[in-house]
A and B are shown apart, each in its own frame.
Chain A
């Protein structure tokens, strides 16, 4: 069993839909990260969370430390949101990554 699990693995949506990606982890963490990876490989950090909720534009990330669970929400999705979204946790000075969720948003 992976230490960081994401669901779903693949997600398709119509433009404008509300999207939720989930992440569960089984190790102790100092922070949880949501990352975005576009084709070609570059990774961009979206959020770093240790508690509660953060919002940036149309993106919202929440974390429940007791349940070891985090969600990434995208409101009013747009084709440019199409990417792989990766959850990662900071554990003993390294990042442990989930396998990612591939999101495709169609016009």
Chain B
């Protein structure tokens, strides 16, 4: 059983650019959540995908968007990058949206210059 993987591990972008981050969920898991963790802070919920549909969203602007694919892998897209978007982006998968145990990926560290 493979764990949750994320790519890339590190990324440097400039203000105004767009970025796509990727997450492969653990085998058999149909629910993926994305979190943003700024330096020194706890992670903040961005949104969740369940069976290819957005199923809950935190307090993030529309320039944060996502996708989930039929194999339940997921992408997080951020448009018009701002300096404050610099953070660690974590994805976590669950077997089903009704279960509580989440398995985290290693994260993608995004730096916006």
Contact = CB atoms under 8 A, between A and B. Distances in A.
Interface residues of B, number: 26
Interface string A38-60: 00111111001000000000000
Given A41-B107, A92-B56, A98 B42 contact: yes
A31 B102 CA distance: 11
Interface stretch (B11-19, B21-29, B43-51, B70-78): B43-51
Contact of B48 (A31, A40, A94): A94
A90 B94 CA distance: 12
Interface in A54-107: 86, 88, 90, 92-100
A93 B44 contact: no
Contacts of B41: 99-100
24 contacts: A30-B100, A33-B100, A33-B102, A41-B107, A42-B105, A42-B106, A42-B107, A43-B104, A43-B107, A45-B102, A48-B100, A48-B101, A86-B42, A88-B42, A90-B100, A93-B97, A94-B33, A95-B45, A95-B102, A96-B45, A97-B42, A97-B43, A100-B41, A100-B42
Interface of B: 33, 35, 37, 40-45, 48, 55-56, 58, 88, 90, 92, 97, 100-107, 109
